[in-house]
Amino acid sequence: MAAARAAADGKNLAEVIKVAEEVRDRVSLIALLDTVRYIYRTGRIPKIAALVGSLLNIKPIFTISSGIPHFMTVVRNRKRGIDQLLKIMRDKVGLNPVHVAVMHAYAPDEGERLKERISSEFNCTELWFTEFSPVMGYACGTGTLGAAFYSEE
């Protein structure tokens, strides 16, 4: 959107690309998975970790930077996971205005509730709601929730 706004403001192609790259480098993505089953299927965790994670109902939280997923923490239930996701987001943006895209994988009602919480708890300049891409849905599984965001500095 920042690149589109730059183009609409009359910036040339090089300037539009520069704006897009600057925003891309500032975006954080945090995702809460509903289960470890799908990340095992993609080969990202060993079988024993998947078995223990499933038995304990572990819900991983991860972030992606430079296209690579990074494990952050785990929680034992969905409510704590959403609370933790929002805490991590709050730690990164503070009280600054924030641009946010809330995403879900086949969980539109839960995604909508996450969007409403973000709207009420953060100073949102933009707030979008969408589905994860098919690749993310496959890799992370049904029920995954996430927020991609960057703050204005």
Give me the chain's average pLDDT, please: 86
Fold assignment, 28-151: Hypothetical Protein Tm841; Chain: A;domain 3 (3.30.1180)
Element (H or E) spanning 98, and its range?
strand 98-104
Encode pLDDT of 42-74 as tens digits: 666 556 665 565 666 778 898 877 667 788 888
Instruction: Tell me what pLDDT residue 144 has.
Output: 92
Whole-angstrom distance, CA of residue 129 vs CA of residue 62: 19
- The pair of three-digit structure tokens given for residue 123, joined into one six-digit string: 């100073």
Residue linked to tokens 């183009």? 7
Q: What is the Cα–Cα distance from 121 to 90, expressed in whole angstroms?
A: 9
Cα(128)–Cα(124) distance, integer angstroms: 10
Q: How far apart are the first and last CA of the chain?
A: 17
The predicted model gives 18-26 an average pLDDT of 90
Count of alpha carbons within 13 angstroms of residue 132, beta-carbon side? 24
